[in-house]
Amino acid sequence: MTTLGARPAGAKDEADTAWAVRRMFDAIAPRYDLLNHVLSANVDRLWRRRTARRFGAVLARPDAAVLDICCGTGDMTMALLKRRPRGGRPVLAADFAREMLSRAARKFGGREAGEAGAVALEADALHLPLRAESLDLIVTAFGFRNLANYEAGLREFHRVLKPGGQLGILDFAEPGGLVGKAYAVYFRRVLPAIGRMVCGKDGPYSYLPVSVGSFPPPNEMLALMRGVGYEDCAWQPYTFGIAGLYTGARPLVV
């Protein structure tokens, strides 16, 4: 069976993929936030807020151990922090692209004293430097699709989640029907063209539609999650299914 995972143009294996993805995001880092919000007309902010709301109960617990993996410039982490109580345990925000992570760290530094904070950690999602069964919640926004091996990523998240711990994966999808057809024109032609003007031909906005097209559709992704051992797996479409949130939990008892 072929391994499901990202393969940017020219990448032959998982190591190549990790290198190409890291290089691409390091290069786009200075323009990432602006482009993201402009190209999505700020809807990306709503999606992250909605994702944080879905995990409101666990985020409200001061002692909850929370990881935002593939945190990039930290916008998902900031949405999670809005739901953390004052003095709560800091959220771990991890990414392997240093230029993205340093921007996230600057955002976290701007928080007021006493507000729940975040700690930036340089780490690869497929090899987390974290103890087994140590986290209550893992969230990832628009990062999972870039992993070189989706099953290995799900396994690594499962390893570090406590029994009963929850996982949320927010990512793009390909909507069907008329909306899907109209959106495909924007997503496959307009968006990469604007992205190329700003970031050059090898930037993430050429790669984005390709990576979404080869990402497993919801039924396959849910089967993959169940196969790794998650329970209560579900997909909640956002905005006509342009994006969506996968949720699952590590079972309390195996």
Ligand X SMILES: C[S@@+](CC[C@H](N)C(=O)[O-])C[C@H]1O[C@@H](n2cnc3c(N)ncnc32)[C@H](O)[C@@H]1O
Residue in 59, 118, 147, 228 binding ligand X, rule: CB under 6 A: 147
- Determine, following the binding rule CB under 6 A, whether residue 92 of this chain makes contact with ligand X: no
34 contacts: CB under 8 Å, gap ≥ 6? none
Please state the closest distance from residue 35 (CB atom) to ligand X, in A.
Answer: 10
Q: Per CB under 6 A, does 247 bind ligand X?
A: no
Q: What is the DSSP string of 132-176?
A: TT-EEEEEEES-GGG-S-HHHHHHHHHHHEEEEEEEEEEEE----
- What's the CA gap between 175 and 195, in Å, rounded? 21
Backbone angles phi, psi at 207, to 5 degrees: -75, -30
Interface segment toward ligand X; rule CB under 6 A; list 142-150, 181-189, 193-201, 211-219:
142-150
Instruction: Provide, rounded to whole angstroms, the least separation between the CB of residue 174 and ligand X.
Output: 17
Q: Binding of ligand X at residue 245 (CB under 6 A)?
A: no
Cβ of 63: how many Cβ atoms within 10 Å?
A: 8
142 binds ligand X (CB under 6 A): yes
Residue closest to ligand X when measured from CB atoms: 72
Q: Does 70 bind ligand X (CB under 6 A)?
A: yes
Q: What's the closest the beta carbon of residue 212 comes to ligand X, in angstroms? A: 11
Instruction: Find the part of the chain contacting ligand X (CB under 6 A) among 21-29, 84-92, 194-202, 219-227.
Output: 21-29
Residue 124 engages ligand X in binding (rule: CB under 6 A)? yes
Residue 28 interacts with ligand X (CB under 6 A)? no
For residues 168 and 139, the answer to whether their CB atoms sit within 8 Å is yes
DSSP state, residue 127: B
List CB contacts of 249: < 8 A, sequence separation 6 or more. Answer: 161, 164, 165, 166, 167, 230, 231, 232
* Residue 160 near ligand X by CB under 6 A: no
Which has the closest alpha carbon to 53: 77, 79, 71, 31? 79
- Which x/- pattern over 94-123 shows residues binding ligand X (rule: CB under 6 A)? -xxx--x-----------------------
Binding status of residue 143 toward ligand X by CB under 6 A: yes
Binding-site ranges for ligand X (CB under 6 A):
18, 21-22, 25, 70-72, 75-76, 95-97, 100, 124-126, 141-143, 146-147
